[in-house]
Chains A and B, each alone.
Chain A
Amino acid sequence: MGKPKAKVDRQKCLACCGCISVCPQNAITWIGYKAQVDPEKCISCAICIRTCPVGAISGEAL
């Protein structure tokens, strides 16, 4: 099992785009006005998790 990858809770995401702006891998994009992480690109740095103002992103073990 690899390191946990970031995962967005679509119910909680308010589409502020903070995570998208700070992701060093450009791994987060908009899908239907919500942020979505590409697990292939995610390097588990957790910057997006810490940035999210409403706690909508968490680490998910794959």
Chain B
Amino acid sequence: MKMKYDVVIVGSGPAGSTTARFAAENGAKVLVIERRAEVGVPVLCGEGISRKIDDWKMLEGKRWIAGKMDGARIFSPDKTCVTLSADQAGNETGYVVYRDIFDQELARLAIKAGAEYMMNTKAIGLIKDGDKIKGVKAKHFDEELDIECSIVVAADGVDSKVAQWAGLDTRLDPKDLESCCQYTLVNVEVKDAYCEFYLGKEIAPGGYVWVFPKSKGVANVGIGILASLSESGMAKNLLDRFIENDPRLAKGKSIRFLAGAVPVSNPAKETVDDNLILIGDAARHVDPITGGGLTHCLEGGKIAGETIAKAVKSKNFSKEFLSEYETRWKEAFGQKIKRNYLVKELMLDMDDKTFNKLAHALESVKFDEISTHGLVKEVAKHLPISTKLNALIKHRKEIREIKKK
């Protein structure tokens, strides 16, 4: 069957649906294809998100919220606790969400704006005329589809096939990938609405364990470890050990177990080409310190959607025209990702003793900004001189580059 749209978005995650919404709202004819049978399922996420999303007013209602968080606790290897609490800063730190409902709500808003969705529809290749991208080949159940379009959006995640078909290198260095797994545990005794993070080489090499309370007696308990420091099955083994040793969690029963891979790299070097845009995990729009990417999906998706609509109006789908998207996401969060990538590299060089020392210094600090940025600023003040010097020497070039901008 032949079909024709202005834009085909491959993937119905938060980045895909947000792009779909803003492209459709501004007049583009949009199709989203999703290989799975249901938007947002299976959930592959820790489900934490900053309350920044409130300011953007992109979501309606509250059904997608599992819990409002009062703050966060970060535990150093010797269990010293650094608390970031909402009342110190006079605002909330974030939400734990139901990602399935969250994603479905974003899809609903995109459909309301005029976007079309096709489930059970797997992209199997690009339609090309020479090098020029002319559409997407897909399979809907057994039926092969040729979907012509002017722009293809790669919203197909960390292992983006679309980007690969377009000739981009999607491989990640193991030091730039977090290997993750997570239980949703019920019958746990997690009392207050604090997101917890546990650091340490013995706990989660190159990553952390998280405990995110979801609702009464329910919590997401997960782990991310750096693939370069991992051994076969290590993530699950370390997570199981952590749960066994935490009396609040040990009696919990799992109602969901999932595994995931999170890019903690610099953003993709190229996120636009002629007739092509990369968004979300495919564009590596993830904070390399926290592994969080939801806010970038929404912010970047809006920018992508608006750029696409403009391109449709001016009938210009060149890399040059679409580069407006790249310029705008770099302004919005690109610099932050680059900076946090440097901090991630710096943290990898730090041993447990340094983490403990830092935690002792920060234990009683009142944070006036609850964000990774606020935390990094405080950490920077307390870092040992030797660590700062090492960082400067090792990352001289990158630091200079970021300062220039």
> Which residues in A have some Cβ–Cβ distance to B below 8 Å?
14-18, 20-24, 26, 47, 49-58
Query: B263, A16: Cβ atoms under 8 Å?
Result: no
Smallest Cβ-Cβ distance to A55: which chain B residue:
B233
- On whether A21 and B177 interact (CB within 8 A), knowing A26-B164, A53-B259, the answer reads yes
Residue B44 lies at the interface, judged by CB distance under 8 Å to chain A: yes
**Contact A54 B171, beta carbon cutoff 8 Å:** no
7 tightest A-B CB contacts, nearest first: A55-B233, A53-B235, A18-B261, A16-B259, A14-B259, A51-B227, A20-B159
Chain A facing B: main interface SS:
loop
In the assembled complex, the CB of A33 is this many whole angstroms from the nearest CB of chain B, namely 9
Report how far A21 CA is from B161 CA in the complex, Å: 11
A52 and B232 in contact (CB under 8 A), knowing A21-B158, A21-B170, A24-B171?
A: yes
CB-CB contacts below 8 Å: B166-220 with A: 170-174, 177, 179-181
Q: Is the CB of A52 within 8 A of B233?
A: yes
Tell me whether A51 and B174 are in contact (CB under 8 A). yes
B interface majority secondary structure:
mixed
B261 and A17 form a contact (CB under 8 A) = yes
Can you list 29 A-B contacts with CB-CB less than 8 angstroms, sorted by A residue number? A14-B257, A14-B259, A15-B259, A16-B259, A17-B157, A17-B159, A21-B171, A21-B172, A21-B261, A21-B263, A22-B171, A24-B171, A26-B164, A26-B171, A49-B232, A50-B232, A50-B234, A51-B174, A51-B261, A53-B180, A53-B181, A53-B230, A53-B234, A53-B235, A53-B259, A54-B233, A54-B235, A55-B232, A58-B232
Task: Give the one of A16, A17, A56 with max B CB within 10 A.
Answer: A16
State in angstroms the CA–CA spacing of A52 and B237 once bound together: 11
The reply to whether the CB of B258 lies closer than 8 angstroms to some CB of chain A is: yes
Q: How many residues of B contact A (CB 8 A)?
A: 30
Task: Give CA–CA (A57, B170) in the complex, Å.
Answer: 21
Chain B residues, Cβ within 8 Å of A58 = 232
Chain A residues lying within 8 Å of B260, measured Cβ to Cβ, are 16, 18
Chain B residue at minimum C-beta to C-beta distance from A15: B259
A53 to B261, CA, bound (A): 9
CB-CB under 8 A from B164, the residues of chain A are 26
What number of A-B contacts does a CB cutoff of 8 Å give? 82
Residues in chain A near residue B159, CB distance under 8 A: 17, 20-21
Q: Is B137 an interface residue (CB 8 A)?
A: no
A49 contacts across to B, CB distance below 8 A: 232
- CB of B181 within 8 A of CB of A54, answer yes
Is the C-beta of B231 less than 8 angstroms from some C-beta in chain A? yes
Q: Select which of B170, B179, B236, B258 is within 8 A of A18 by beta carbon.
A: B179
Known: A16-B44, A18-B179, A49-B232. A23 touches B171 (CB 8 A): yes
**Contact residues in A for B230 (Cβ distance below 8 Å):** 50-51, 53
| Residue of chain A at shortest CB distance from B235 | A53
- Using A17-B158, A18-B261, A55-B232 as known contacts, say yes or no to A47 and B180 having CB atoms under 8 A apart: no
Known: A21-B171, A24-B171, A58-B232. A50 touches B227 (CB 8 A): yes
For the complex, what is the distance from the CA of A52 to the CA of B230, rounded to whole Å?
A: 8
Chain B, 301-321, contact with A by CB distance < 8 Å: what is the 0/1 string?
Answer: 000000000000000000000
Residue of A21, A49, A50, A53 with most partner-chain B CB within 10 A = A53
Instruction: Known A50-B231, A53-B179, A54-B181; judge A16-B261 contact (CB<8 A).
Output: yes
Measured CA separation A22–B173 after assembly (Å): 6
Q: What residue of chain A has the Cβ atom nearest to residue B170's Cβ?
A: A21
Scan B142-174; emit 1 where CB is below 8 A from any A CB, else 0. 000000000000000111000010000011111
Among candidates A15, A26, A51, residue contacting B177 with C-beta atoms closer than 8 Å: A51
**Measured CA separation A17–B11 after assembly (Å):** 15
Q: Which residues of A contact B180 (CB under 8 A)?
A: 16, 53
Cα(A18)–Cα(B258), bound, Å: 13
Q: Mark B223-265, 1 if CB is under 8 A from A, else 0.
A: 0010100111111110000000000000000000111110100
CA distance A52 to B234 in the complex (A): 8
CB distance from B243 to the nearest CB of A (A): 15
